[in-house]
Amino acid sequence: MRFIPSLITVAICSSYPLYASDTETAIERIRVQGDFRQQALQNISGSVAVVGEQDTKRTSAQHLDDVLNQLANVNFTAGASRGRYIQVRGIGERSEFVDTINPSVGILVDGIDYSGLGITGISDLAQLEVFRGPEATRFGANALAGMINLTTKGPTAAAEGKASVTLANFNSRQLAAQFSNSVNKQIGYSLSLEQQSSDGFIENTYLNRDDTNNIDEFTGRLKLRYQASDALTLQLVSHFVDQNNGYDAFSLDRNRTTLSDQPGQDLIRSKAIALQADYRGLPFANVLAQLSYLTADSDYGFDEDWSYVGLHPDEYSTTDRYLRQRDQLTLDYRFISSPEGKLGNSDWVLGLYAANKSFDLTRQFWNWDLWQADAFVSELSRSNAAVYGEINTPLSDGWNLTSGLRLERYEDEYSDSSGGSINNDDTMWGAKLSLNYQVNPQALIYLLTSRGYKAGGVNGDALAKAADDSLADLSSKASFKPETLYNAEFGVKGVALDNSVSARVAAFYMWREDMQVKGWLNPDSGPQFAGFIDNAGSGRNYGIEMENRLQLHAQFALSLSASWLKTELGRYITLDGDVFTGREQAQAPRFQYSVAADWYLSEALLVNVSVQGKDEFYYSDGHNARSSRYELLNARISYQLAHWELALWARNILDKDIGVRGFYFGNDPRDGYAPHVYEQFAEPRRVGMSASYQF
């Protein structure tokens, strides 16, 4: 911890001008889209990381997975073929099987809730924002630990377009195209299309195939903007995602070679539409409103035994498959004070939120008690209603106070094919109080406290199996309570007038109450597991995160993000009697860092080199399996012509095996089902070339 004061000193020093001249126009202009009001990144109290198009180019990122490694105190888990579950400051889910989860870190794409579905294409990325720490006032129950907010490119006044192609090893291809324009002064539009495909990074020696863990994803996004009047702007947003990925990731030999005779799948087809309105005709406030609808069908399944019939006399051969249908309708209606509508000198926000979501599941599995194929069907309907507000009050001499509050009510109705039926409901509240000192236009010091929350829910798997004598202990796990997170944070942000130095540092301490953890019961040490979400008393998460950029020369820039994190489980004893009290929490590496250098060898030739590192971490709160510490080395060289850009790139140059999901149990009959750490690995060494044409 002795290095923390020096980091804060760097941030404070970087906030002062390097020369005494009026260069206001040179100040960093990154504006955060996901907050109540669009404002400069340097002026927002709270820890927010922003990723733009140029940042994704640095590592030739093609998916959200490729971006998250650049960010401090952000981790992710591959729930299936892609990284779908995100952890911020060590808090977040790792998977979704029978029970419907309420994510601790939500995902918004153009304001539409994709939490739990993940993100496919990012070729039309305009800006990605990662809010770290509880953001309940702004985002509600899906932002206990933070929020991912992605904004895609929209309509433009003049014609703009881009087409790109990428080829890489493992038979990988990416085709993308975007075009935007205006029909007239009132109507504009944008369209983006992207197709990604790859054989994946697994060889199935039994089937003699290298595409059982393949990637095949299509993403289409359309925006129509209509300037109805000087006071009213309407925008229609439409998304379509068709993901047909394979899932064959775990190996009995604990490497990238599998033996599955029935490889699984990870299919998602989703459609979403949103109507957004921006009305500025009221004398006291501007009105922002969004009505959105999303429907998604998913098919996620895998070969449970990871092998083939005939491997060993003590073998078993089963599959597990989860067919889900999700429908959601959400409304967010917000009043934002205009200069004429202030309360004294205070700006204010008042909003209403309502959502109705349904989750239907059909699980096809092998019933070990009946010794036959079986199915389990469940239905969950959830309604949310919330009212929220925020007031920003200037004090004196650069000081101001921001206070926010959100009240939210949720109601669940659950039923399943085993006769289980339960209703859950609760009223939750979140808040934020921030004291900010604007040292000068380029520097901010803030001290904030915030309270976040996460809804409780129903353990359908536990409820269905509680009648089994061998699983009677599950009767107490039919449901679980909401979780609450308290956060105290001190931060410093600064940027030099000429943008040669920018720095952001945040130190935080978070306290979790009734923290939700994933539990498993394995009564006979066989292939039958019962999963449930449990409340584990309390937990602590504290640390520091920083992001700096140094323009060391007109042709050379250095970017650095780093974090240190300490976590601890409160009193937690599993149903199997394992004691995890005081242990570090899952998916919470002690340190992370990313160092990137951008070197312009000429006006047209650019070299990017980056190194990303992460400490080891536990894969679960229910066992002690851990990942390995790693460093990733990436490089890219690009040449810019008038309209063309050509690039050669490589990721994970050292070809490290990076674990993105891990279990600890026995699944190999060849060694008597002795327990091992089984891991799913991220991509190995990737080498490719890209070409894009922009006009």
Distance (Å, rounded) from C-alpha 451 to C-alpha 487? 6
According to the model, what pLDDT value does residue 3 have?
42
For 67, the 3-state DSSP assignment is: helix
Burial of 22 (0-12, 13-18, 19+ CB in 10 A): exposed
Task: Please indicate whether residue 348 or residue 461 has the higher confidence score (pLDDT).
Answer: 348
23, part of any domain? no
656, part of any domain? yes
Task: Identify the band that residue 471 occupies on the pLDDT scale cut at 50, 70 and 90.
Answer: low
Contact 688, 166 (CB under 8 A): yes
Distance (Å, rounded) from C-alpha 105 to C-alpha 85? 8
* pLDDT (mean) for 283-295: 97
> Quick one: what percent of the chain has pLDDT higher than 90?
74
According to the model, what pLDDT value does residue 4 have?
45
According to the model, what pLDDT value does residue 102 have?
86
526, part of any domain? yes
According to the model, what pLDDT value does residue 662 have?
94
Beta pairing, strands 501-513 & 630-640: unpaired
Q: Which residue is associated with the tokens 């690995």?
A: 681
Distance (Å, rounded) from C-alpha 424 to C-alpha 413? 7
* Alpha helices per DSSP H over 220-314: none
Q: Which two tokens stand for residue 424?
A: 């859950």
Distance (Å, rounded) from C-alpha 349 to C-alpha 136? 14
Question: Which residues does 319 contact at the CB level (< 8 Å), separation at least 6?
Answer: 262, 264, 301, 302, 303, 304, 364, 365, 366
Distance (Å, rounded) from C-alpha 178 to C-alpha 161? 5
Distance (Å, rounded) from C-alpha 352 to C-alpha 524? 50
The DSSP 8-state label assigned to residue 100 in this structure reads P
According to the model, what pLDDT value does residue 325 have?
97
Burial of 108 (0-12, 13-18, 19+ CB in 10 A): buried
Whether the pLDDT of residue 450 is over 90: the answer is yes
Domain around 436: 4-18+28-694
156, part of any domain? yes
| pLDDT tens digit sequence for 64-109 | 888 988 999 999 998 788 888 999 999 999 888 888 888 999 999 9
Distance (Å, rounded) from C-alpha 8 to C-alpha 492? 7
Q: Which two tokens stand for residue 622?
A: 């229910």
| pLDDT tens digit sequence for 622-656 | 889 999 999 999 999 999 999 999 999 999 999 99
Task: Identify the band that residue 536 occupies on the pLDDT scale cut at 50, 70 and 90.
Answer: confident
Contact 653, 683 (CB under 8 A): no
* pLDDT (mean) for 165-185: 97
Buried residues in 163-192 as b, exposed as e (16+ CB within 10 A): ebebebebebebebbbbbbbeeeeebbbbb
* pLDDT (mean) for 300-316: 96
Report which secondary-structure segment, H or E, holds 57.
helix 53-58
360, part of any domain? yes
Whether the pLDDT of residue 1 is over 60: the answer is no
Contact 250, 301 (CB under 8 A): no
Burial of 239 (0-12, 13-18, 19+ CB in 10 A): buried
According to the model, what pLDDT value does residue 127 have?
94
Buried residues in 536-546 as b, exposed as e (16+ CB within 10 A): bbbbbbbbbbb
Phi then psi for residue 678, to 5 deg, are -105, 130
331, part of any domain? yes
According to the model, what pLDDT value does residue 20 have?
32
74-88, 510-524, 574-588, 679-693: which has the highest mean pLDDT?
Answer: 679-693
Q: Which two tokens stand for residue 17?
A: 């001008």
Distance (Å, rounded) from C-alpha 77 to C-alpha 680? 10
Question: Which residues does 366 contact at the CB level (< 8 Å), separation at least 6?
Answer: 304, 318, 319, 320, 372, 373, 374
The beta strands (E) that lie in 482-575 are given as 483-495, 501-513, 516-521, 530-535, 538-553, 556-569
Contact 263, 207 (CB under 8 A): yes
Distance (Å, rounded) from C-alpha 546 to C-alpha 14? 13
Q: How many CB atoms lie within 10 A of CB 227?
A: 17
According to the model, what pLDDT value does residue 524 have?
56
Q: Dmax over Cα atoms in the chain, in whole Å?
A: 81
Whether the pLDDT of residue 161 is over 50: the answer is yes
575, part of any domain? yes
Q: Which two tokens stand for residue 90?
A: 């060590």
Task: Identify the band that residue 468 occupies on the pLDDT scale cut at 50, 70 and 90.
Answer: low
Question: Which residues does 476 contact at the CB level (< 8 Å), separation at least 6?
Answer: none
For 293, the 3-state DSSP assignment is: strand
Report which secondary-structure segment, H or E, holds 386.
strand 372-394
Burial of 694 (0-12, 13-18, 19+ CB in 10 A): middle
Distance (Å, rounded) from C-alpha 585 to C-alpha 93? 12
Task: Identify the band that residue 462 occupies on the pLDDT scale cut at 50, 70 and 90.
Answer: confident
Task: Please indicate whether residue 423 or residue 477 has the higher confidence score (pLDDT).
Answer: 423
* pLDDT (mean) for 209-220: 96
Q: How far apart are the first and last CA of the chain?
A: 50
Whether the pLDDT of residue 15 is over 70: the answer is no
* pLDDT (mean) for 584-600: 96
According to the model, what pLDDT value does residue 472 have?
58
According to the model, what pLDDT value does residue 306 have?
97
According to the model, what pLDDT value does residue 265 have?
96
Q: Which two tokens stand for residue 257?
A: 């070679």
- Number of domains, the chain: 1
Whether the pLDDT of residue 479 is over 60: the answer is yes
Contact 479, 460 (CB under 8 A): no
Nearest to 92 by CA among 71, 74, 112: 74
Contact 632, 69 (CB under 8 A): yes
For 532, the 3-state DSSP assignment is: strand
Nearest to 301 by CA among 118, 97, 88, 439: 97
Mean pLDDT of the chain: 91
Contact 303, 264 (CB under 8 A): yes
Task: Identify the band that residue 511 occupies on the pLDDT scale cut at 50, 70 and 90.
Answer: very high
468, part of any domain? yes
Question: Which residues does 9 contact at the CB level (< 8 Å), separation at least 6?
Answer: none
Distance (Å, rounded) from C-alpha 334 to C-alpha 327? 23
Nearest to 348 by CA among 137, 145, 143, 139: 137
CATH of the domain at 221: 2.40.170.20
Distance (Å, rounded) from C-alpha 572 to C-alpha 587? 17
* pLDDT (mean) for 585-593: 96
| pLDDT tens digit sequence for 366-406 | 988 789 999 999 999 999 999 999 999 999 889 999 999 99
3-state helix, strand, coil in the chain (%, to 5): 10, 60, 35
| pLDDT tens digit sequence for 23-47 | 333 345 788 988 888 888 888 999 9
